[in-house]
Amino acid sequence: MIGWCNEMTSMSKDATVAEVEANASAPAGVSSSRKGAKGGKRNKHDASEVSKDRKIASNGSLAPWLFLLPAMVVVIVFFIIPFFNTLRLSFTNATLLNPGHFIGLDNFRKMFEDDHVKTALLNSSLYVVCIVPCMVFFPLILAALVSGKGKIMGFFRTSFYMPVVVSTVIVGLIWTNLLDDRGLINSIFKSFHWITKSIPFLTDRWLLLFSAMIVTIWTGLGYYMVIYLSALANVDPSLYEAAELDGCGPISRFFHVTMPGVRSTMVLIMLLSSIAAFRVFNEVYVLTGGTAGVGGQDMTMSILIKREGTGLQARTGYTGAISMLMFVILGTLIAIEYIIQRKADKDA
Amino acid sequence: MHKSSITAGKVVQYIFLVLFFIVLVGPIVWQIALAFKGPNDNIYAVPPYFLPKDFTWGNFTKALATIPVLRYVLNSAIVALISVCGNVIGASFAGYALARLKFKGKGLATMVVFAAMMIPVETVIISQFLIIRDMDLQNTLLAAALPGLIQPINIMLMMNAFRGIPDEMEEAAKVDGANVWQRFFNICVPQVKGTTTVVAIFSFVGAWNDFLWPLIVLGDDSQYTLTVGLNKLRGTFYSDPRLIAAGTVLALIPIVIFFLIFQRYFFRGVEAGGIKG
């Protein structure tokens, strides 16, 4: 313990004399550490010295910064610097091999005329619009179904969460098999004579996007179900009893007690699922075998960034502009999400 | 009258439970069955059948022989392990400092972490790659782990957990002469075991399932993680779904076992870290 304090105080002394002087207790701390440095003083460490050490530890020393150092390095090197670098790149014509030079807003102008960007924006937005209602309602139904006690309900909860833990790449491969022209889904439809020709789930421009959405919903249901379960646990059980006494059936209880009780959670999930949906990459990438559909018609924003920003021909400057566009859209959603979550936490 | 309406409700409830079960677990089970179907099974039969008639382990041996699945599993395990260590250690240290120590610049440090949490990784992923390239680390497993080594969301989770410890505990230790490091390791860390476990598990699963970043940063077959390697299954075995099924089943097993062991922490983690969608 004393060893650490010694190091701390001597480091702060070396580092910034001003800081030590500014701190009234620091000189005393230094002297106590010098005593310690002469060795063998540990046992004589009396109460007054302890209180000095305490002040050092909580005010003047470098200890807090040592605690923070690894995290700060990683966060700054891999999030903060890349963010400002992306911003900088977006105003240049840099490529992977060439640092490029400042070109003003050209990238942004070009971006809004680029058909790939338009397609990606359309697909990612469509993804949000189609997926969010499903993510808000189906998991709530699931949560209401499995919210009871007992082993059977526990079994169903675990089962329903299973798709969440499996990598979306694996999930994508499973569904590639299922949705294939001769896959299980088409076979089932054929055996009921609903169709005679296979539905081209994996080749048609719109069906492909729709199939990817099905996969996303399939993997997300369990996740949002768990969020709803914790919200349902906070709904006053006496409300259900009262509703039952008033003659409400299970379905009307769902609409009149469950749904109002989790309203703030529904808003939260609406935002969480919009953010996740707009970022979609894995499902579309795997289902299209990395091609984003014929001629890139099923491109999403994340796939576009990956495609434009990697490889030897990567246009990092242009990709920076696309990244900033995505950041503005997502950043807005994330900021709203955070404000709402903060408010919900305060209310709770 | 009253009692019978309850049982009717229960029947409807269980019908829906079973339907959802078929929809959510069925595809996985179907894939497992497919992995055991031999060459004499008609996997395109109309109507389809579930149990293999020509049962075989051959698909697994063939998948293993064509694609080094075990190598990928090992690579993924290494990346996940680095990520777990980095997040548990780095986020605990930083979370403790931000939650319980007073120092100049704390507000700024908290803001930096918070700002980083708001940055969607896709929007900085190209710049992250440029930094890895400047470090000359591309194509290494370390590079696959680095950007997620200490995630801002985990720092926030640990910070909240440390905040929940009553001040009296640390005060008492201070009076007994414990310095900040002793208080951290002996008093505070044992109090936040639950959150630490959540951070560890989510770091593991996050790294294990990550796809976009390793796809960008790993170009060399021998360094592929499981997700990147499996993605190749589609190209390689496109003609034979049995082999794709075998590959995916092999990849499924570790993570499903992991989940079954730690499932209650999974649920706690989802409740604690809503933002990490």
* Nearest residue to A145 (alpha-carbon basis) of B12, B206, B111, B72: B12
Is B211 in Cβ contact with A167 (below 8 Å)? yes
Asked if A49 and A32 count as a contact pair (C-beta separation under 8 A), the reply is yes
pLDDT score recorded for residue A52: 45
pLDDT at A12 (0 to 100): 34
Band (B238; pLDDT cuts 50, 70, 90): low
**Poorest-pLDDT segment among A221-230, A286-295, B43-52:** B43-52
Cβ contact, residue pair B131, A301, below 8 Å: no
Looking at the DSSP bridge assignments, the partners of residue A92 are A102
Q: What are phi and psi of B43, to 5 degrees?
A: -80, -10
* Contact across the interface for A74 and B90, Cβ inside 8 Å: yes
CA distance B220 to chain A (A): 14
Average pLDDT over residues B93-113: 92
Q: Which amino acid is at A203?
A: T
Region B174-182 average pLDDT: 87
CB A211 within 8 A of CB A202: yes
pLDDT bin (cut points 50, 70, 90) of residue B140 is very high
Q: How confident is the model at residue A29 (pLDDT cuts 50, 70, 90)?
A: very low
Mutate to test the interface with A, among B17, B123, B184, B261 (most CBs of A within 10 A): B123
- Nearest CA to CA, how far is B53 from chain A (Å)? 17
- Which residues in A lie closer than 8 A to residue B106 (C-beta atoms)? 64
Local structure of B250: helix, strand or coil = helix
Mean of all residue pLDDT scores within chain B: 86
Q: Which of B14, B111, B180 to mutate to test the interface with A (most CBs of A within 10 A)?
A: B180
Contacts of B89 (CB under 8 A, 6+ apart): A70
Q: Mapping DSSP to helix (H, G, I), strand (E, B) and coil, where does residue A102 land?
A: strand
Q: Is the pLDDT of residue A3 over 50?
A: no
Cβ within 8 Å of residue A154, ≥6 positions away = none
Q: Tell me, what's the pLDDT at A59?
A: 47
Most confident of the following: A261-270, B115-124, B236-245? B115-124
**Cα A256 from Cα A244, distance rounded (Å):** 11
**B187-198 average pLDDT score:** 88
For tokens 């338009």, the residue is A118
Kindly list the residues from chain A whose CB atom is less than 8 angstroms away from the CB atom of residue B30: 178, 184
CB contact under 8 A, A70 and B90: yes
Q: What is the mean pLDDT of chain A?
A: 79
Of B17, B106, B146, the CB nearest to A145: B17
The CATH homologous superfamily of the domain defined by A109-347: MetI-like (1.10.3720.10)
pLDDT tens digits along A204-225? 889 999 999 999 999 999 889 9
pLDDT tens figures, A272-295:
899 899 999 999 999 888 888 888
Q: Identify the closest residue of chain B to A186 by CA–CA distance.
A: B46
Tokens (6 digits) for A279: 């970022």
Chosen from B79, B83, B117, B127 to mutate, greatest number of chain A CBs within 10 A: B127
Across the interface, whether the CB atoms of B181 and A68 are under 8 A apart is answered: no
Which own/partner contact pairs does B266-270 have at CB distance under 8 Å and 24+ positions apart?
B266/A161, B266/A164, B266/A165, B266/A226, B266/B201, B267/A157, B267/A161, B267/A226, B267/A229, B268/B194, B268/B198, B269/B198, B269/B201, B269/B202, B270/A223, B270/A226, B270/A227
Q: Is A204 helix (H, G, I), strand (E, B) or coil?
A: coil
pLDDT at A56: 43
Residue among B115, B117, B81, B22 nearest B254 (CA): B81
* Of A163, A155, A290, A265, residue with least CA distance to A214: A163
Q: What share of chain B is helix, strand, coil (3-state, %, to 5)?
A: 75, 0, 25
Provide the pLDDT for residue A348.
61
Whole-angstrom distance between the N-terminal and C-terminal Cα of chain A? 41
User: Tell me, what DSSP letter sits at residue B189?
Assistant: G
Q: What percent of chain A has pLDDT over 90?
A: 31
Interchain CB distance below 8 Å, B21 and A160: yes
Residues B189 and B92 sit within 8 Å (Cβ to Cβ): yes
Find the mean pLDDT for residues B245-271. Answer: 84
pLDDT (0 to 100) of residue B6: 61
Q: Distance from first CA to last CA of chain B, Å, rounded? A: 45
> Which region among A26-35, A127-136, A338-347, B261-270 has the lowest average model confidence (pLDDT)?
A26-35
Q: Which residues, including other chains, have CB under 8 Å from residue A297's CB and lie 6 or more apart?
A: A119, A205
3-class state of residue A92 by DSSP: strand
Alpha-carbon distance values, A123 to A212, A284, A304, B144 (Å)? 11, 10, 11, 28
- Average pLDDT on B263-269 reads 79
Least confident of A36-45, B172-181, B216-225: A36-45
Query: Are the CB atoms for B275 and B57 separated by under 8 Å?
Result: no
The pLDDT value recorded for residue B5 is 52
**Do B131 and A156 count as a contact with CB atoms less than 8 A apart?**
no
The full set of domain ranges for chain A reads 2-61, 109-347
What SS3 class is residue A319?
helix
Name the maximum alpha-carbon separation found in chain B: 77
- Are residues A127 and A213 in contact, defined by beta-carbon separation less than 8 angstroms? yes
Radius of gyration of chain B (CA): 24
Determine which of A77-91, A217-231, A246-260 has the lowest per-residue pLDDT on average: A246-260
Highest mean pLDDT of the ranges A5-14, A178-187, A252-261, B80-89: B80-89
Structural contact between residues B84 and B203, judged by C-beta atoms closer than 8 angstroms:
yes
In this complex, do B13 and A145 lie within 8 Å of one another by their Cβ atoms?
Answer: yes
Domains, in order of start, for chain B: 2-56 (no CATH), 66-224+254-272 (1.10.3720.10)
The answer to whether the Cβ–Cβ distance between B179 and A306 falls below 8 Å is: no
Percent of chain B residues past pLDDT 90, beyond the cut: 37
Nearest CA in chain A to B44: A182
A227/A224 Cα distance (integer angstroms) = 5
What was the ipTM of the complex prediction? 0.87
CA A287, chain centre distance (Å)? 22
Q: Which residues of A touch B256 (CB under 8 A)?
A: 162, 165-166
The residue-averaged pLDDT of A19-34 equals 34
**Comparing C-alpha atoms, which of A139, A291, A306 is closest to residue A216?**
A139
A169 contacts B231? CB cut-off 8 A: yes
Helices (H) and strands (E) in chain B, counts: 13, 0
Q: What is the pLDDT averaged over residues B188-215?
A: 90
Mean pLDDT of B157-170: 89
Number of cross-chain residue pairs from A and B with Cβ atoms under 8 Å apart: 304
